[in-house]
Amino acid sequence: MGGRTGPGTSVPPGGLPVKVTVDPSKCQGHARCFALCPEIFDVDDYGQSSVRSADDVPVELEERVRLAVSNCPEFAIAIVE
């Protein structure tokens, strides 16, 4: 039997493939995500964030992506596992 995964569960980095999304309707251009993980996030001239690639987040960047998610004041970033 495997462990339970889904909302409200904690999976260690590298446990499952992770993708990240930015909701442009929520993003207010604080650019904290870009400051924390510029390898994954990009910002336009107005500070609006986007994800550089639709690929899975590399395992070595997962912790920084999760930090970016927790530091977004608008809750515009989501992790999809």
40 lies in a domain?
yes
Q: Say if 1 falls within a structural domain.
A: no
The pLDDT profile of the chain, 81 residues, written as one tens digit per residue, is 343 344 444 555 667 899 999 999 999 999 999 999 999 999 999 989 999 999 999 999 999 999 999 999 999 999 998
Domain range holding 44? 19-80
Q: Is residue 34 part of a domain?
A: yes
The closest alpha carbon to 21, from 63, 50, 57, belongs to 50
CA of 39: how far to CAs of 3, 9, 68, in Å? 30, 26, 12
Q: Which of 27, 7, 6, 14 is nearest to 65 (CA)?
A: 14
CATH number of the domain encompassing residue 26? 3.30.70.20
User: Is 2 part of a structural domain of the chain?
Assistant: no
Contact status, residue 62 vs residue 36, Cβ threshold 8 Å? no
* Residue 62: strand, helix, or coil: helix
